[in-house]
A = this chain, B = another copy of it.
Amino acid sequence: MTKLGILHPGQMGISVAASAQNSGCEVHWASDERSEQTRQRATQHNLKDAQTLENLCQTCEVIISVCPPHAADDLARQVLATGFRGIFVEANAIAPQRAILMGQRMQAAGIEFVDGGIIGGPAWEAERTWLYLSGPQAQAVADCFAAGPLETAVISTAIGKASALKMCFAAYTKGTTALLSGILATAESLGVRNELENQWSRDDSNFSEQTPNRVRQVTAKAWRFESEMKEIAATLAGAGIPSGFHIAASEIYRRMAIFKDAPETPSLDEVLQALLMTQ
């Protein structure tokens, strides 16, 4: 029975943990400095509490990092500092060149590094969420999730490929949502929002109907998309492609980040005002 540590059991992380349990792993976490919500999730799913990161890294053969992209380097450095010697899976939305550097640092310290990228929401249903993996030990990690519902796909032995795929995929989905938000705010500011929605309806009535919800729903996640957009911008720039789309998207999400802990989903008007006021 593989002992697997999850950093951390957030909404996505807990679903990754559940798929590992489902596939026969014993899943551990470290409660030190974690929120009450995270503790509740871990308790509800019977994760074993190692309390500290040091204990977790001594206990587990595989550690999976699932955190906001801006926290990924720090977390990897903390794991490195414990003297961990197993497989470390970097499953966050970071640029491939950053995954490669992180991998080199960890491999130099004797850690097996596997690059990962998760596409989809929390994995509670089959064929909805994919953990892409790349690196020499990628298959060993895929085996930890064999029973799903989290799906896995080993795409390469090269570190960086899984991150590259994640970046390219999110570049469109999250990039276009930011773009739509910015366009609606511009149309509002210029007094042509109704006319724009009418024209959208002429082409595709669903598009115009769905747009407000797309913009409203993303506000709760915007606080972590700000840094993800910077990673995507770095990914495009690294390939010699203009990075401005996602620099702009990062700024859009920065302005939406005020809705992080909003008690309810803001109205479209409230979101557009936030985009136009926060400069």
Interface residues on A, range: 35 or more
- A196 in contact with B169 (CB, 8 Å): yes
Q: Check A190/B119 contact, CB under 8 A, given A172-B183, A245-B244, A248-B245.
A: no
Question: When A130-B199, A175-B179 are in contact, do A275 and B241 touch as well, CB less than 8 Å?
Answer: yes
Q: Would B179 and A171 count as touching, CB distance under 8 A?
A: yes
Number of copies: 2
A222-247 interface bits toward B, Cβ cutoff 8 Å, 1 = contact, 0 = none: 00000000000001101111111111
**Chain B residues in 8 Å Cβ range of A236:** 182-183, 186
The docked-state distance in angstroms from the alpha carbon of A168 to that of B191 is: 11
Is A155 positioned at the interface, with any CB of B under 8 Å from its CB?
A: yes
Interface residue? A213 (CB, 8 A):
no
Complex Cα distance, B140 from A223, in Å, reads 50
- Interface flag for A180 (CB, 8 Å): yes
Find the B residue at minimum CB distance from A128. B202
Flag whether A161 is at the interface (Cβ < 8 A).
yes
Q: Give A126-153 as 1s and 0s: 1 = Cβ < 8 Å from B's Cβ atoms.
A: 0100101000000000000000000001
B241 and A244 contact, CB distance less than 8 A: no
**Does residue A12 face the partner (Cβ distance < 8 Å to B)?**
no
Chain B residues near A172: list those with CB within 8 A. 176, 179-180, 183
